[in-house]
């Protein structure tokens, strides 16, 4: 199959819409990362998404909507917590897990009785929903296990020959995927951290929001998890990534002693070392780190990096989202100095 990349405009959005209506899969930008979209009511379209990504069939997808009325039939209940979160954070990078409605096919939910829904803020994503009338399910548009794509070229790298169309809407604004929060129980639980933080949601809900342990810790193969995605290898470039904790001077001495070939450091903007390095944002600006992390991991692959020593982000606020992605890309390999 030939994979076309078209700059997102009226014509290409029209084309993407008609492909979606025919049960095809197209890649498109959202404000978080690029998504691989297919009709959430069409089981055979959804199967194509799983195939193109090589995604395990037990890992459910997120459904994207552009107006509140589209919740009808998609979810069976919107409780108070869900309503407050939608009113405050939609459109935007927040996915809410709610009880599944009758119009969403089982393949999307991977057999669960719940469904994750989000209303993206990105213009192109919204236009496609509006023009096609299709609520699309979309995982990140990467090959399963690789860093999520934040440009159309990243998507092409993984999806070339597998899908007919990539809409190019430029670089994604946020750079990490949406926060995933479950409101199925009285106490909301964050299943994946993102730009919408625990503190932001607690303020709106007036109660505690829990953070799933699987966000910062490794999940054993046979362990039961609230979100199936948490047990899989994730965000991994070809290079071996190792997080090195400790102050910068210790970090610098440590990495400069490794004279190996194709060894890189992944630093904060204000730092320098004598081995090859890339930086992923200012030390005190987690939004910047979120914006750059995935694109830097992909760049390290293009450079042929074999080993990457990474500076460690914080674990609070937005930085938790960065930590969560980096520690997974490192396969939980951490050196404490």
Instruction: Give the residues lining the site for ligand TXA (CB under 6 A).
Output: 30, 32-33, 35, 59-62, 93, 95, 97, 109, 112, 114-116, 138-140, 177-178, 180, 191-192, 226-229
Q: Which is nearer to Mg ion, 180 or 255 (CB)?
A: 180
- Orientation angle between helical segments 123-132 and 10-21, nearest 10 degrees: 50
> Tokens standing for 147?
């860093």
Q: Is 62 exposed, middle or buried (0-12, 13-18, 19+ CB in 10 A)?
A: buried
Q: Which is nearer to Mg ion, 17 or 227 (CB)?
A: 227
Q: Which is nearer to ligand TXA, 139 or 147 (CB)?
A: 139
Half-sphere exposure in the Cβ direction for 1 (13 Å, CA): 16
Nearest distance from C-beta of residue 113 to ligand TXA, angstroms = 8
- The entry of ligand TXA, Mg ion, none near residue 193 (CB within 5 to 8 angstroms by kind) is none
Q: How far is CA 226 from CA 17, 97, 190, 312, 325, in A?
A: 33, 11, 10, 26, 18
Nearest distance from C-beta of residue 116 to Mg ion, angstroms = 12
Nearest distance from C-beta of residue 255 to ligand TXA, angstroms = 31
Three-class SS of residue 62?
Answer: strand
- The entry of Mg ion, ligand TXA, none near residue 145 (CB within 5 to 8 angstroms by kind) is none
Q: Which is nearer to ligand TXA, 139 or 193 (CB)?
A: 139
Nearest distance from C-beta of residue 246 to Mg ion, angstroms = 30
Closest residue to Mg ion in the complex (CB) = 140
Nearest distance from C-beta of residue 148 to ligand TXA, angstroms = 7
6: Cβ contacts below 8 Å, ≥ 6 apart: 12, 15, 165, 166, 167, 168
Closest residue to ligand TXA in the complex (CB) = 229
Q: Phi and psi dihedrals of 287, rounded to 5?
A: -65, -40
- The entry of ligand TXA, Mg ion, none near residue 279 (CB within 5 to 8 angstroms by kind) is none
- Orientation angle between helical segments 152-159 and 286-302, nearest 10 degrees: 40
- The entry of ligand TXA, Mg ion, none near residue 115 (CB within 5 to 8 angstroms by kind) is ligand TXA
Q: Which is nearer to ligand TXA, 5 or 242 (CB)?
A: 5
Q: Which is nearer to ligand TXA, 186 or 336 (CB)?
A: 186
* Of 175, 199, 181, residue with least CA distance to 32: 175
Contact 28, 169 (CB under 8 A): yes
Q: How far is CA 64 from CA 1, 5, 162, 178, in A?
A: 26, 22, 22, 12
**Contacting residues toward Mg ion, per CB under 5 A:** 140
Q: Which is nearer to Mg ion, 128 or 141 (CB)?
A: 141
- The entry of ligand TXA, Mg ion, none near residue 66 (CB within 5 to 8 angstroms by kind) is none
Contact 301, 238 (CB under 8 A): yes
Q: Which is nearer to Mg ion, 311 or 328 (CB)?
A: 328
Three-class SS of residue 277?
Answer: strand
- The entry of ligand TXA, Mg ion, none near residue 197 (CB within 5 to 8 angstroms by kind) is none
- The entry of ligand TXA, Mg ion, none near residue 112 (CB within 5 to 8 angstroms by kind) is ligand TXA
242: Cβ contacts below 8 Å, ≥ 6 apart: 307, 308, 309, 310, 330, 333, 334, 335
Residue 127 and residue 135: Cα distance in Å, rounded?
11
Nearest distance from C-beta of residue 307 to ligand TXA, angstroms = 27
Nearest distance from C-beta of residue 184 to ligand TXA, angstroms = 8
Three-class SS of residue 286?
Answer: helix
Nearest distance from C-beta of residue 45 to ligand TXA, angstroms = 15
> Tokens standing for 291?
């914006």
């Amino acid at each position: 199959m030939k994979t076309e990349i078209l700059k997102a405009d009226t014509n290409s959005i029209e084309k993407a819409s008609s492909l979606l209506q025919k049960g095809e899969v197209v890649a498109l930008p959202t404000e978080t990362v690029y998504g691989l979209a297919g009709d959430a009511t069409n089981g055979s379209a959804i199967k194509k998404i799983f195939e193109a990504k090589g995604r395990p069939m037990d890992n459910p997808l997120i459904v994207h909507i552009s107006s509140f009325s589209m919740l009808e039939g998609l979810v069976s209940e919107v409780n108070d917590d869900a309503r407050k979160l939608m009113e405050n954070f939609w459109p935007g990078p927040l996915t809410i897990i709610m009880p599944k409605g009758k119009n969403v096919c089982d393949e999307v939910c991977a057999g669960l009785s719940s469904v994750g829904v989000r209303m993206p803020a990105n213009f192109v994503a919204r236009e496609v929903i509006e023009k096609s009338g299709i609520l699309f399910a979309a995982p990140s548009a990467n090959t399963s296990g690789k860093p999520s794509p934040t440009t159309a070229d990243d998507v092409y790298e993984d999806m070339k020959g597998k899908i007919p169309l990539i809409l190019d809407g430029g670089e994604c604004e946020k750079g990490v995927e949406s926060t995933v929060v479950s409101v199925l129980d009285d106490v909301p639980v964050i299943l994946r951290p993102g730009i919408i933080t625990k503190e932001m949601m607690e303020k709106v809900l007036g109660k505690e929001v829990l953070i799933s342990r699987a966000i910062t810790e490794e999940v054993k193969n046979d362990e039961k998890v609230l979100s199936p995605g948490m047990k899989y290898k994730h965000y991994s470039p070809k290079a071996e990534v190792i997080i090195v904790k400790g102050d910068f001077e210790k970090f610098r001495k440590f990495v400069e002693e490794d004279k190996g070939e194709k060894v890189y450091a992944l630093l904060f903007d204000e730092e320098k070392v004598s081995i090859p390095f890339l930086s992923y944002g200012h030390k005190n600006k987690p939004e910047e780190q979120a914006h750059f992390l995935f694109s830097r991991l992909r760049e390290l692959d293009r450079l042929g990096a074999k080993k990457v020593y990474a500076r460690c982000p914080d674990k609070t606020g937005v930085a938790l989202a960065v930590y969560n992605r980096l520690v997974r890309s490192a396969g939980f390999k951490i050196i404490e100095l």
